[in-house]
């Protein structure tokens, strides 16, 4: 797990906000916010985060240390996900295991393509809030999972356009310009393909549907 993933896991497990975690780690709230955005902490700060993670998350009882989130399909990062590519039930196509408890009503998407390398590689699973929690304007300059008005889904950086439209930027591909969004999935955390556990058995019935768990290499 990356440092920002461990910080989010700590906050979820404890119920702490950024300010409280900053007090525990003896740093400023803005420092915690930078770490959550991908900045790397100094060596002794990293050690403190890892130690706290071990205390409140990694050593939690087994029955409370594994959780699942529904996989709702694919999201394009270079490879385009066509409109109506999947007919996905609310419970998802599959269940993805995560090592810590998540806030309520989270969903997952699997990345297709490599236009958002080095952060989002092909096969990576991104976990987002099911419902859009903030207005479009607050996402400018931020990476997010989005759905366009014609039904396509991407993971991109959102840049302000005109008349309520936006441009979607990649790190190593041409931008998608002048599009209208119908939904923005705020990213909570993400996992590389190598970190996803595979199981061949069928999952327990959840919300009236059964499916297969993702399989690891």
Count of domains observed in the chain? 2
Quick check: is 14 in a domain?
A: yes
Quick check: 206 pLDDT over 60? no
How would residue 93 be classed by pLDDT, with cut points 50, 70 and 90?
confident
Quick check: is 169 in a domain?
A: yes
Question: Model-level pTM greater than 0.85?
Answer: no
Quick check: is 211 in a domain?
A: no
The rounded distance, in Å, linking the Cα atoms of 28 and 147 is 35
How would residue 178 be classed by pLDDT, with cut points 50, 70 and 90?
very high
Quick check: is 202 in a domain?
A: no
The pLDDT of residue 202: 35
Tally Cβ neighbours within 10 Å of residue 208. Answer: 8
Distance of CA 3 to the CA centre of its chain: 14
Q: Are residues 118 and 16 in the same domain?
A: no
Query: How many helices (H) and strands (E) are present in the chain, helices listed first?
Result: 4, 10
Quick check: is 33 in a domain?
A: yes
Q: Are residues 183 and 117 in the same domain?
A: yes
CATH number (domain holding residue 170): 2.10.109.10
Domain ranges, residue 54: 3-62
Q: Are residues 34 and 109 in the same domain?
A: no
How would residue 25 be classed by pLDDT, with cut points 50, 70 and 90?
very high
Q: Is-contact 41 2, C-beta < 8 A?
A: no
SS (H, E, C) 125-187: EEEEECCCCCCHHHHCCCEEEEEECCCCEEEEEEEECCCCCEEEECCCCCCEEEECEEEEECE
Quick check: is 132 in a domain?
A: yes
Q: Are residues 76 and 175 in the same domain?
A: yes
What is the tens place of the pLDDT at every residue in 59-80?
Answer: 555 444 467 888 888 887 665 5
Q: Is-contact 188 69, C-beta < 8 A?
A: no
**166 Cβ contact partners less than 8 Å away, ≥ 6 residues apart:** 136, 140, 158, 159, 160, 179, 180, 181
What is the tens place of the pLDDT at every residue in 123-170?
Answer: 888 999 999 989 999 999 999 999 999 888 888 999 998 888 999 988
How would residue 103 be classed by pLDDT, with cut points 50, 70 and 90?
confident
């Amino acid at each position: 797990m990356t440092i920002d993933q461990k910080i989010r896991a700590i906050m979820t497990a404890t119920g702490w906000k950024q300010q409280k975690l900053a007090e525990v780690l003896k740093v400023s709230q803005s420092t915690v916010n930078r770490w959550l955005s991908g900045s790397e902490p100094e060596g002794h700060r990293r050690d403190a985060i890892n130690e706290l993670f071990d205390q409140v998350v990694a050593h939690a009882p087994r029955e409370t240390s594994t959780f699942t989130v529904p996989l709702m399909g694919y999201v394009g990062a270079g490879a385009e996900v066509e409109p109506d590519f999947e007919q996905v039930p609310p419970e998802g196509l599959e269940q993805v295991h995560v090592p810590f408890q998540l806030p309520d009503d989270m969903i997952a998407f699997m990345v297709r393509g490599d236009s958002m390398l080095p952060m989002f590689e092909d096969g990576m699973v991104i976990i987002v809030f099911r419902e859009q929690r903030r207005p479009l304007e607050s996402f400018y300059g931020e990476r997010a999972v989005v759905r366009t008005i014609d039904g396509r889904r991407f993971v991109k950086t959102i840049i302000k356009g005109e008349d309520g439209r936006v441009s979607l930027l990649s790190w190593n591909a041409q931008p998608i310009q002048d599009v209208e969004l119908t939904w923005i999935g705020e990213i909570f955390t993400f996992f590389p393909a190598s970190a996803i556990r595979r199981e061949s058995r069928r999952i327990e019935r959840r919300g009236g549907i059964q499916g297969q768990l993702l399989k690891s290499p």
